[in-house]
Structure 1
Amino acid sequence: MKRAVSISLGSSRRDHAIETTLLGVPIRLERVGCDGNLRLARERFLALDGQVDAFGVGGADLQLQVEDRVYPLYAVQKLVAGLRTPAVDGGGIRRVVERQLVPRLEAQLPVPIQPRRVLIGTAVARYDLACSFEAAGYEAIYGDFGFGLGLPIPIRSLATVRRLARLLMPIMGRLPFHWLYPTGDKQDEIVPRFQAWYRWATVIADDFHYLKKHLPERLDGKIVVTNTTTPQDVELLRERGVAYLCTITPRLEGRTFGTNVMEAALTAIAGQGRPLTPPELRAMLREEDLTPTVLALNP
């Protein structure tokens, strides 16, 4: 039986393990949270190195890719440095799924999205998602300064995002990871900010922990586009008036996993002993696997 383990900087309260069959291969999938403790995460990677077929890196990115430039996040890369077992963060899966997201999303909604406005929390982290909305003709606010640095400065174009990434990411990639992303118990904190951005947008899109970080009390009529959510997350959005929740994590044979877990599972099944390229990942998935899940909360 193949074994893929996601070691996450997120909360240990979401830990789970299942044994299943994917693409005809028996596999055990595990998620182990480290509550923001990087030293503990490193110890767990080392303890399991060579004993599992693939690692997922959860609650963090090993690197960010903006257009053709790759920006390492050095604090996260230290977690997996020198491992024999391949480690993936879900970025390859996101590049496969998110570039074509908007047409797939719009095809599932009962009415057109109007006005075509989107708030994306961090375009440098979800660049392919941002490109999909731009290609579909949406106006956008990219909240990288706000959600990443706490500065109330909206960015209005991807050209600006690219220029800022070239200027700032070589520096920011060397900062402690908890400065850039909520980890552990901080993922449960909500401090409303940037409310005008949320009000302006029809669609709010990004990793759920970023969106939740500054969530307003009311999101009536909004469409939220995000990753895998817990039942508690769904209920939170329902209570705040969200009309539709779109989760973009791929479904493999009817099951939904986090992107790092999904990529680790496919890496384990492929058995190449290395991370797979986006074309290799795409070849293992069917079109229906890439279709987002749309849930009507307050239609």
Structure 2
Amino acid sequence: MKRIVSASLGSSKRNHKVEVNLLGEDLTIERIGTDGDFDKAKEMLRQLDGNVDAIGLGGIDLYLVADGKKYIIRDAQKLRSVVKTTPVVDGSGLKDTLEREVVRYLANDAKLPLAQKKILMVSAVDRFGMAEALHELGCEILFGDLIFGLNLPIPIHTMGSFKVLAKMILPVVTKMPFKILYPTGSKQEKEPSESYAKHYRESDVIAGDYLFIRKYMPKDMRGKWILTNTTTKQDVDDLRERGVELLITTTPVFEGRSFGTNVLEAALLSLLGKKWEEVTPQDYLDILKKLNYIPRIEKLN
């Protein structure tokens, strides 16, 4: 049986473990949080190295992307450098392939009227594939990268402005301590602030990383759609109570829980039997097709 583990900087309260069979292969898939403790994450990675089939790096990105250019996050590179033999992925390969296809599927196959919706994209540098696919549909997008990443009350309203700004700030931002940019550990459990509730009210669809979405999510989310990745049963219950109409998750649900893209990419990499450097976007698309994968669309209210 193959073993896939996500070593996450996130809260240990979101830990989960399942056994699944994918394309005839038995896998155990596990997510282990380190509550924002970098030293603990490093030690776990050392212990996993050589003892599992693939590692997902959770709660942090190796890269942020804008307009085809990757910017390495310094703290993530420090974590990755600990692992010497086992493949390590952060989900970026799937974000740029799977999530583009998910948007196209929702518009063309599921017939959801996304092009007519106002989209709040909480962080496009984290999910550039999703953002670009929504842009190609003709959606009206508010890019929230400065708001959700740096708590700067500056919405960005065009793809052109986003790309220019990203090229200016990403070389600096990626060298900052990651905990400044993204909620880790117990910060993931804080009650959301409503500082930017206005942007939620003025949008029909809130898209992107779930913890970024939750960061400023108001209590009243009646009629809103959420397009995201990782949600627990508690997250789903919370969204239902807030009045969210539709929840769309881009990664498969195992035992009531959708795992992050880093976990799914690690699992697919183990099935492909290739080195990470050799895997192409088409490889991911082909194996997802074999798995008959479609996004989960759940009506909550």
Q: TM-score, normalised by structure 2?
A: 0.92
2:68 alignment counterpart:
68
1:120 alignment counterpart:
121
Deviations 1:239-288 (A, max 9, x none): 11111111111469x99532111111111222334353322222211177
Per the alignment, in what secondary structure is the counterpart of residue 231 of structure 2? coil
User: 1:9 Cα shift?
Assistant: 0.7
How many Å separate the matches in 1 of 2:251 and 2:13? Answer: 20
Q: Say whether residues 1:158 and 2:159 are aligned partners.
A: yes
Larger mean CA deviation between 96-105 and 30-39 belongs to 96-105
1:239 alignment counterpart:
241
- 1:250·1:259 contact (CA, 8 Å) conserved in 2? no
Counterpart residue type for residue 220 of structure 1: R
- The 5-angstrom pairing of residues 196-275 of structure 1 reads 196-250=198-252, 256-274=258-276
2:41 alignment counterpart:
41
- 1:50·1:85 contact (CA, 8 Å) conserved in 2? yes
Pair 1:95–1:287, CA change in 2 (3 A): farther
- The 5-angstrom pairing of residues 139-218 of structure 1 reads 139-189=140-190, 190-218=192-220
- Report the count of equivalent residues: 297
Pair 1:268–1:111, CA change in 2 (3 A): closer
Q: Say whether residues 1:19 and 2:19 are aligned partners.
A: yes
Pair 1:178–1:289, CA change in 2 (3 A): farther
Per the alignment, in what secondary structure is the counterpart of residue 100 of structure 1? helix
Counterpart residue type for residue 94 of structure 1: K
Per the alignment, in what secondary structure is the counterpart of residue 294 of structure 1? strand
2:97 alignment counterpart:
96
- 1:119·1:201 contact (CA, 8 Å) conserved in 2? yes
2:280 alignment counterpart:
277
Pair 1:283–1:290, CA change in 2 (3 A): same
How many Å separate the matches in 2 of 1:220 and 1:29? Answer: 34
Counterpart residue type for residue 283 of structure 1: D
Counterpart residue type for residue 266 of structure 2: A
User: 1:74 Cα shift?
Assistant: 0.9
Pair 1:179–1:241, CA change in 2 (3 A): same
How many Å separate the matches in 2 of 1:182 and 1:40? Answer: 17
User: 1:7 Cα shift?
Assistant: 0.4
Residue segments in structure 1 that go unaligned for 5+ positions in a row: none
Per the alignment, in what secondary structure is the counterpart of residue 3 of structure 1? strand
Pair 1:211–1:177, CA change in 2 (3 A): same
How many Å separate the matches in 2 of 1:213 and 1:128? Answer: 22
The CA RMSD measured in Å over matched residues stands at 2.1
User: 1:135 Cα shift?
Assistant: 1.0
Percentage of matched positions with identical amino acids: 42
Per the alignment, in what secondary structure is the counterpart of residue 276 of structure 2? coil
How many Å separate the matches in 2 of 1:288 and 1:134? Answer: 28
Deviations 1:96-134 (A, max 9, x none): 122233332245768745852100011111111111111
Larger mean CA deviation between 286-295 and 144-153 belongs to 286-295
How many Å separate the matches in 2 of 1:255 and 1:118? Answer: 25
Q: TM-score, normalised by structure 1?
A: 0.93
Pair 1:174–1:232, CA change in 2 (3 A): same
2:32 alignment counterpart:
32
How many Å separate the matches in 2 of 1:67 and 1:49? Answer: 33
- 2:46·2:82 contact (CA, 8 Å) conserved in 1? no
User: 1:290 Cα shift?
Assistant: 4.2
- 2:115·2:137 contact (CA, 8 Å) conserved in 1? no
2:132 alignment counterpart:
131
